[in-house]
Structures are given as structure tokens and as C-alpha cells.
């Protein structure tokens, strides 16, 4: 539960990073990828994922293509040109934030 | 482990399950269906003895307290936001287009001059006894809106995309129509002010009309793309 709160704050960066690595993905594939990469430690709920995806589309960070797969429509998400540029910024901002948290949690290591 | 794939009959069951919960627009149904179907397929693959009914219930529970609603709500909100962005991008494009702006400025000046002339010479309409230029423009706006409505044919009116696009510009200048200052006056200051307002509303309305057409075209394109995958209007089909 606590971890989910942390995930929520960095969800857009996670989505953008996944798309940077995989090219295009659909919603369910993203939730599965996060579970697999984190060995089930992190779970993205649909209630958080779809608002984030829809917002990124509205902000022109992601674009969608639709295909018929297994008898149903599947929406694939891809980074736009603007989205590709934004991804690097988002990742470095998240990395800096995580480093700062690390300094607070482990001050001894940080001080050498 | 081979992943189980749902048959068309089973997908029909899933559609009905979503439909029963109040998600009836085909566009919203399709937004939910693939994710829901993937979840159900994973459950049935993990537990081959599980019934479809049980798998659907379990998968639905995993969508959380609001169920499918969070997907529909965010689709509504952000489709509207995307359409608003299209609308305002078009407004900006018109404002940056110097030839169009010069034309609009000339038109605005013409309306202003004609309105001053109508106030000074007491040119009123036969029905409401108001400034004939202002009331004429009011009528032109009304006809333009009726034309737009008529162009959105019966099928498109039912479209989720068109509905959201219309909601996106609901603030449009309709309120301004009611306050179009067309009442006759002798005060020179009021004549100039009223004529200026009529000209500004007229110019703004034309910009709005161009942008709203572009928006409706975008929504229509979205709808047609959707229809190419889902030609049947029935969400359960």
C-alpha cells in the first residue's frame, strides 16, 4: 500500500521509460511488465494507469494506434517526438529525487 | 504454460458483463474490454478449471472500488482536454494567420461602421425594434449553428467523440448572443460602445466557428477510425 503511493508519484516516468525501452505497449502489457521487472513488488492499478495514459495522450506525450487483436480492439501507446524528449528529463528528475531520498535514509553511506 | 485465448462467444459474455455495469457507449466498452479480457485470459490460464463467470468476477474486483468507472471517467476528462487543446490550437493558428486576421479586422471594422450607421439612422428590424446590423448578425450566427448541427448527421450525433467534442466548447459564445447590445440609443458613447461590442463578438464568433469546425473534424476522424474497427453501433455485437 505504502509502496503504491510512491509508485503513483512516479507513474508517468515509469510509463515513459517502459515505452522508451519497448517502443509500443498496450495498457495490460504495462501492468504485467512492471510486475515482472519488480518481481511482483510493484503493482500498477488500472485506476492509476489509465488516467495517467489518457493524460499523457492529451498532453501530446503519447500517441495511440489501434489494432484488432484476438477479436477485440487493442490500443497501443507510443512516445511522440515531444514525449521522447521529455522522457530523458523525467528520468533524470526522478533519479535525482531518489538520490536525495537515499541521502536522507542512509546519511552514513552518503557521507562516506 | 500456453496462454488461453477467449473465444468470440466468451468475449460476448465479457461485453455483456461490462454493459450490465452501465458502460454502454461502444467507444468506452472497447477501452475497457481489452484490458479486462487480458486479465480474464490470465486467470483462466493460471487456473484451467475456473469458470468464465468466476474469472470475470475476480478480474473485475481487481479493478478496485470504482471498478471500470475510473477508466471511463479518465477517458471522458482527457478526451475533452485533448479536444480543447485542438480547439485552442486552431484559435491560435487563426490569430497568427496575418491575411485571415487582416480580413477579419476589415470585416470587424465594416460591422462596426454599419452598426454605428444603423444606430444613428434608427435602422431597426420590424419585429424587435433593435439595431438591424446587430440583429442580422445574431440571425447569421443562429443559421450557422443550425447548419453545423445539420451537418453532424444522425449517426454522428450518437458518437461518443462528437458528444465529448461538443462538451469541450460548451462555453462558446452563446452567452454573448444574449447580451448583444442591439437596443436603440441616442447616447453617442453608448452607440460607439455597442457597435464596438457587436463588431468584437462578430469577429470572435467567426474565429470560434473556424476552430469548432476543425474540432468537429478531429472528432469525426476519431469516430471514423473507431468505426473502421467496430462498424456495428451495438456495443454488445
Which tens digits make up the pLDDT trace of A13-24? 999 999 999 999
| Minimum CA–CA partner of A48 in chain B | B70
Distance between CA B156 and CA B23 in Å, rounded? 19
pLDDT at residue A64, as a whole number = 92
| Nearest CB neighbour to B78, from listed A55, A72, A74 | A55
The verdict on a CB contact (< 8 Å) between B81 and A73 is: no
Distance between CA A7 and CA B110 in Å, rounded? 59
- For testing contact with chain B, the best of A28, A46, A64, A75 (most B CBs within 10 A): A46
CA atoms within a 13 Å half-sphere pointing along the CA-CB vector of A108? 0
| Nearest CB neighbour to A73, from listed B77, B85, B229 | B229
pLDDT at residue A99, as a whole number = 85
ipTM reported for the complex, 2 dp: 0.83
Contacts of A51 in chain B (CB under 8 A): 70, 73-74, 77-78
> Hey, is the C-beta of A9 within 8 angstroms of any chain B C-beta?
no
pLDDT at residue A44, as a whole number = 87
pLDDT at residue B134, as a whole number = 84
| Nearest CB neighbour to A51, from listed B39, B74, B226 | B74
* pLDDT of chain B, 237 residues: tens digit per residue: 567 888 999 999 999 999 999 898 888 998 999 999 999 999 999 988 889 999 999 999 988 888 899 899 999 998 998 899 999 999 999 999 999 999 999 999 999 999 999 888 888 877 777 888 888 888 888 898 888 888 776 667 778 888 888 887 766 666 666 677 777 777 888 889 989 988 998 899 899 999 998 998 899 888 888 888 776 666 666
Among A17-21, A52-56, A86-90, B2-6, whose mean pLDDT is lowest? B2-6
The verdict on a CB contact (< 8 Å) between B63 and A46 is: yes
- Element containing residue A79 per DSSP (H, E): strand A72-79
Contacts of B70 in chain A (CB under 8 A): 46-47, 50-51
pLDDT at residue B172, as a whole number = 61
pLDDT above 60 (res A110) = no
> Hey, is the C-beta of A36 within 8 angstroms of any chain B C-beta?
no
pLDDT at residue B123, as a whole number = 82
Rounded to the nearest angstrom, the gap between the alpha carbon of residue B170 and the centroid of all alpha carbons in its chain is 8
| Nearest CB neighbour to B229, from listed A28, A68, A70 | A68
Instruction: Give pLDDT tens digits for B186-213.
Output: 788 888 998 998 899 889 989 999 999 8
Those residues whose C-beta lies under 8 Å from the C-beta of residue A72, and which sit 6 or more positions away, are B11, B30, B33, B34, B37
Domains of chain A (ranges, CATH numbers)? 2-111 (1.10.10.10)
pLDDT above 70 (res A109) = no
Q: How far is CA B178 from CA B117, B174, B194, B211, B231, in A?
A: 22, 7, 13, 21, 41
DSSP assignment letter at A65: E
Q: Whole-number mean pLDDT of chain A?
A: 86
B237 with B16: CB under 8 angstroms?
Answer: no
- Element containing residue B134 per DSSP (H, E): helix B132-151
> Hey, is the C-beta of A70 within 8 angstroms of any chain B C-beta?
yes
Distance between CA B224 and CA B159 in Å, rounded? 10
Those residues whose C-beta lies under 8 Å from the C-beta of residue B102, and which sit 6 or more positions away, are none
pLDDT at residue B55, as a whole number = 94
Grid cell at residue B114: 454599419
> Hey, is the C-beta of A1 within 8 angstroms of any chain B C-beta?
no
| Minimum CA–CA partner of A43 in chain B | B62
Instruction: Give pLDDT tens digits for B28-63.
Output: 998 999 999 999 999 999 988 889 999 999 999 988
Those residues whose C-beta lies under 8 Å from the C-beta of residue A51, and which sit 6 or more positions away, are B70, B73, B74, B77, B78
Contacts of B218 in chain A (CB under 8 A): none
Grid cell at residue B5: 485465448
Grid cell at residue A106: 542512509
| Minimum CA–CA partner of B28 in chain A | A73
The verdict on a CB contact (< 8 Å) between A47 and B39 is: no
Q: Tell me what percent of the residues of chain A surpass a pLDDT of 70.
A: 88
Vertex A54 angle, CA A53 and A56, to 5°: 65
Across A30-59, average pLDDT? 90
The verdict on a CB contact (< 8 Å) between A47 and B70 is: yes
In degrees to the nearest 10, what's the CA dihedral of A7, B74, B38, B51? 110
The verdict on a CB contact (< 8 Å) between B75 and A46 is: no
Q: Tell me what percent of the residues of chain A surpass a pLDDT of 90.
A: 46
| Minimum CA–CA partner of B27 in chain A | A73
pLDDT at residue B174, as a whole number = 66
A99 vs B127 pLDDT, higher one: A99
Amino acid at each position: 500500500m505504502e509502496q503504491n503511493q510512491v509508485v503513483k508519484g512516479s507513474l508517468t516516468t515509469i510509463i515513459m521509460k517502459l515505452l522508451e525501452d519497448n517502443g509500443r505497449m498496450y495498457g495490460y502489457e504495462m501492468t504485467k511488465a512492471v510486475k515482472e521487472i519488480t518481481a511482483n513488488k510493484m503493482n500498477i492499478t488500472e485506476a492509476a494507469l489509465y488516467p495517467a495514459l489518457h493524460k499523457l495522450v492529451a498532453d501530446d506525450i503519447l500517441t495511440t494506434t489501434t489494432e484488432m487483436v484476438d477479436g477485440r480492439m487493442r490500443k497501443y501507446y507510443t512516445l511522440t517526438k515531444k514525449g521522447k524528449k521529455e522522457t530523458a528529463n523525467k528520468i533524470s528528475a526522478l533519479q535525482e529525487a531518489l538520490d536525495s531520498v537515499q541521502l536522507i535514509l542512509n546519511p552514513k553511506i552518503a557521507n562516506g | 504454460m500456453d496462454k488461453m485465448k477467449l473465444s468470440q462467444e466468451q468475449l460476448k459474455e465479457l461485453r455483456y458483463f461490462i454493459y450490465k455495469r452501465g458502460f454502454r457507449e461502444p467507444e468506452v466498452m472497447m477501452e475497457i474490454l481489452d484490458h479486462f479480457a487480458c486479465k480474464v485470459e490470465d486467470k483462466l490460464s493460471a487456473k484451467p478449471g475456473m469458470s468464465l463467470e468466476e474469472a470475470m468476477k475476480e478480474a473485475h474486483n481487481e479493478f478496485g472500488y470504482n471498478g471500470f468507472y475510473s477508466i471511463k471517467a479518465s477517458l471522458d476528462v482527457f478526451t475533452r482536454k485533448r479536444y480543447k487543446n485542438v480547439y485552442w490550437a486552431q484559435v491560435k493558428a487563426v490569430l497568427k494567420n496575418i491575411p485571415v486576421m487582416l480580413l477579419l479586422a476589415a470585416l470587424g471594422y465594416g460591422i462596426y461602421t454599419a452598426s454605428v450607421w444603423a444606430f444613428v439612422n434608427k435602422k431597426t428590424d420590424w419585429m424587435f425594434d433593435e439595431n438591424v446590423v446587430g440583429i442580422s448578425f445574431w440571425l447569421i450566427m443562429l443559421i450557422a449553428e443550425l447548419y453545423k448541427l445539420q451537418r453532424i448527421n444522425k449517426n454522428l450525433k450518437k458518437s461518443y467523440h462528437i458528444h465529448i467534442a461538443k462538451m469541450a466548447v460548451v462555453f462558446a459564445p452563446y452567452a454573448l448572443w444574449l447580451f448583444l447590445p442591439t437596443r436603440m440609443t441616442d447616447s453617442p458613447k453608448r452607440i460607439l460602445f455597442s457597435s464596438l461590442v457587436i463588431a468584437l463578438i462578430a469577429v470572435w464568433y467567426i474565429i470560434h466557428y473556424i476552430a469548432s469546425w476543425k474540432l468537429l473534424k478531429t472528432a469525426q476522424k476519431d469516430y471514423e477510425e473507431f468505426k473502421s474497427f467496430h462498424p456495428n453501433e451495438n456495443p454488445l455485437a
